[in-house]
Amino acid sequence: MNDEKNKINREALKSLNYGMYIVTSHMDGKINGQVANTVFQVTSKPPQIAAAISKVNLTHQYISKSKVYTVNTLAETAPMDFFGPYGFRSGRVIDKFEGAPHKTGQNGCPILTEHVVAALEVKVIQEIDVGSHTLFIGEVTNTEIFDESAPMSYKYYRENIKGMTPVDSPTYIPPEE
Amino acid sequence: MNDEKNKINREALKSLNYGMYIVTSHMDGKINGQVANTVFQVTSKPPQIAAAISKVNLTHQYISKSKVYTVNTLAETAPMDFFGPYGFRSGRVIDKFEGAPHKTGQNGCPILTEHVVAALEVKVIQEIDVGSHTLFIGEVTNTEIFDESAPMSYKYYRENIKGMTPVDSPTYIPPEE
């Protein structure tokens, strides 16, 4: 393992491309959401999505219980202060949706109605333990489209918004490396 | 199911962001590779990658047998004719690497040495059946970086290269919809 580890240059991982999403869920009448970049489609028929979510996050707890989540694709119009509550603070101590326009989707998860290109409601079919994270794989049960503006890429978030990557992100790069 | 299906607008799925990759593998002394856009990192410690590969593809057969694959991140410099052999023809009938500069990585899979930003060698840890595709989840065992030019996004491929999406892609949109 150590030998293998030494051959890995984390810069290579940076060559992978992502979008920027707020993944939301609900549990026992409460709602929560978090920033995620690791979301992708895994099949076309039926349309299925996979999202990698950190086990330490409150949203993980909610999805595990309710078996539903919603992917809100962020637009390039989302400003830096939009990310604050979702990426770097826990729903355990703040209400992330206070002051953020939203509504409730068919699966009970919040859909953000500002700075979002589209929302995809997902019903979880499989939960895959990959260590620090769980891959929640599920079928898209409902969609909404808000506007035609460009979806924000992870690259755009880092280079233009000057956004940081939370320590519990799959794509976090440890400072010691 | 039908009711649910009617609520899905495939345009919403287009809001998800991807890169462009050639995923390669080997089996019994033979090598193969295919275009893929559905590749992402699922954990940071250790660095693990997931790739969704169609069960009908020869590369799927090779990865299932050898338990290794390599993700070659394409640069924006890759021209349209570069994609022909990898995306729309099968390694069962042509040698995809004839005329394409490449070398053999530590895991035995081919690494392309032109139009590639970085290569990530992966050892498969889990294979998840998601229907038409398998999610090959594995640990990154070796990396190589070729140049600092921009990785090609799926959006760039479609809008600038005018590239098509093969019918066996997870992000293929059926014409009848």
For the cut 70, the answer to whether the pLDDT of residue B2 exceeds it is no
* Higher pLDDT among residues B91 and B132, named by residue: B132
* Higher pLDDT among residues A176 and A115, named by residue: A115
For the cut 90, the answer to whether the pLDDT of residue A5 exceeds it is no
Percent of chain B with pLDDT over 90: 72
Cis peptide before B46 (omega within 30 of 0): yes
What's the confidence (pLDDT) of residue B176? 63
For the cut 60, the answer to whether the pLDDT of residue B159 exceeds it is yes
* Angstroms from B118 CA to nearest CA on chain A: 5
| Dist CA B163 CA A106 (whole Å) | 35
- Residue A119 — left, alpha, or beta (φ > 0 → left; ψ -120 to 50 → alpha)? beta
CA B95 distance to own-chain centroid: 17
Of A42, A142, A170, the CB nearest to B43: A170
Mean per-residue pLDDT, A61-69: 98
List chain B residues with CB under 8 Å of A12.
73, 118-120, 140, 143-145
Instruction: Please give the mean pLDDT across all residues of chain A.
Output: 90
ipTM of this model?
0.91
Contact A112, A126 (CB under 8 A): no
- The reply to whether residue B47 touches residue A9, judged by beta carbons under 8 angstroms, is no
- The reply to whether residue B118 touches residue A52, judged by beta carbons under 8 angstroms, is no
For the cut 70, the answer to whether the pLDDT of residue B88 exceeds it is no
Contact A121, A106 (CB under 8 A): yes
Strands of B39-43's sheet in order across = B30-36, B21-27, B68-74, B116-129, B133-145, B48-54, B39-43
Give the number of other CB atoms < 10 A from CB of residue B45: 10
| H/E segment holding residue A161 | none
List chain A residues with CB under 8 Å of B170.
40-44
List chain A residues with CB under 8 Å of B120.
12-13
Mean per-residue pLDDT, A19-35: 95
- The reply to whether residue B19 touches residue A15, judged by beta carbons under 8 angstroms, is yes
Half-sphere exposure of A21 (CA within 13 A, CB side): 31
**Percent composition of chain B: helix, strand, coil (DSSP 3-state, to 5):** 20, 40, 40
What's the confidence (pLDDT) of residue B62? 98
| Dist CA B150 CA B148 (whole Å) | 7
